[in-house]
Amino acid sequence: MTVSLKSFQDRVVLITGGSSGIGLALARNLAAQGAHLWLLARRKDTLNEAMEQLKVFPGGCQVISADVSDWTQVQKAVSRIEKEAGLPDLVINSAGVSHPGYVLYPPRRVFWESLGIPATAQPSMRCAVSPMRLGLK
C-alpha cells in the first residue's frame, strides 16, 4: 500500500504562533514543500527572525503581528491575507504561551493564560475564515 501525502505546493497556509516552537517547525516543513506562508504571532521581533529563516524557501513568507485573543486583530489579519493571497487553504492554530517551570501548581494567572490563548485562537480563526470560505462575507 502506498501512502500519498497532500502536496502543499502553491497552497496558502496560515499558521498562528508561527514565529517559534511547533508553529515555526511546521512552517519550515511546509515552506520546504512550496507553501505560501502567512505567520501570525504577537512578537514582531520573532516574526521577523522567522521570516528571515524561511526566505530561503521558494513559496515565500509573510508575517502579521497580531494577538489571536483579540477578535479585531484576528479579523484584520484574515482580511489582509484574503486581499493579498486569497483564502488560506490550511489554517494551523499553534498559538500558545509557555511558562517553563510551572508544571504541578502554576499560579492562577499562568494557568489561565496558558489555557486561554489556545482556547480562543481556534474558534477565532474558524469564525474569521469560515464565512469567507463559504462565501458568506
pTM: 0.80
| pLDDT tens figures, 119-130 | 666 667 777 776
Query: For the chain, how are helix, strand and coil distributed in percent, rounded to 5?
Result: 45, 15, 40
Q: Is the pLDDT of residue 137 over 80?
A: no
What is the arrangement of strands in the sheet containing 61-65, beginning at the earlier edge strand? 61-65, 36-41, 12-16, 90-93
- Under the banding of pLDDT at 50, 70 and 90, the label for residue 34 is very high
| pLDDT tens figures, 18-28 | 999 999 999 99
For residue 36, what are the β-bridge partners? 12
- Report the distance separating Cα 117 and Cα 95, nearest Å: 7
Residue-range domains of the chain with CATH: 12-133 (3.40.50.720)
- Report the distance separating Cα 125 and Cα 127, nearest Å: 5
Share of the chain above pLDDT 90, in %: 53
